[in-house]
Amino acid sequence: MPEFCSIEKADHIMTVTLERPDRLNALHPPANVELGEVFDDFASDDDMWVAIITGRGRGFSAGNDLRYQAEGGERLPMPRGFAGLTSRFDLNKPVIAAVNGVAMGGGFEIALACDLIIASDKATFALPEPKVGLAALAGGLNRLPRQIGSKRALGMILTGRHVPAEEGLNLGFVNEVVPHDDLMSETYRWAGQICECAPLSIRASKDVVYQSLSCASLQESMETSYDSVRAMAKSEDFIEGPRAFAEKRPPDWKGR
């Protein structure tokens, strides 16, 4: 059983809850290694189509556990980065961040590494690393400009200021702001809508979007051959979708 998080699996959705509320879910190397294994399991579990990550208590994640580091805690290699997500580039299944409170530094970088961010109206975001002589090198400096543009991103990065959820929505890195007590039900609503779609179509769509960002031109991105698209085209669901539409019934997705 995991030590630093809890896991629930139901209806093709895996929910991961960070369980270090006494430290605002700040993550130390053992927790990051454990979460890497959790998301390895998600990637390989054919019955899991969508993941949700959230935090216990009043924080989503305060990022790197500097206190653990200052106390001389054990350093471990973290090949998948914070929460097993910030340095993971081969996961085609969608991941949703349900941000329930503070998402600072590495915690914000975890959320940015997810495909959707659903935020409580109590959520707050920041990359405050420059205030303590550091830099947001777990993807924050790379992902935020790609998601909201360099001027808006630098307005956060160069000041380290705290951004409330509603401003995050206006800036463009938050998908929806919901009342705090409705956060998980609304996040499950998003996940449920994804699960209504063909799993391999979702994975191909995510894969093409992210790979296209690395292409030099629109033409190159459209002419590139994608393994995920070939897998979709060879799947049973590729036949089931049009058949269900013609027969005016809900599709029975198999994920294969």
Residues designated catalytic = 109, 129
Whether the Cβ atoms of residue 60 and residue 111 lie closer than 8 Å to each other: yes
Which residues does 172 contact at the CB level (< 8 Å), separation at least 6?
A: 147, 148, 149, 152
If you count DSSP H runs as helices and E runs as strands, how many of each does the chain have, helices first? Answer: 11, 10
- Report how far residue 202's alpha carbon sits from residue 84's, in angstroms, rounded to the nearest whole number: 21
Whether the Cβ atoms of residue 105 and residue 129 lie closer than 8 Å to each other: yes
Burial of 120 per CB tally in 10 Å (0-12, 13-18, 19+):
buried
Kindly give the pairing relationship between strand 176-178 and strand 116-120.
parallel
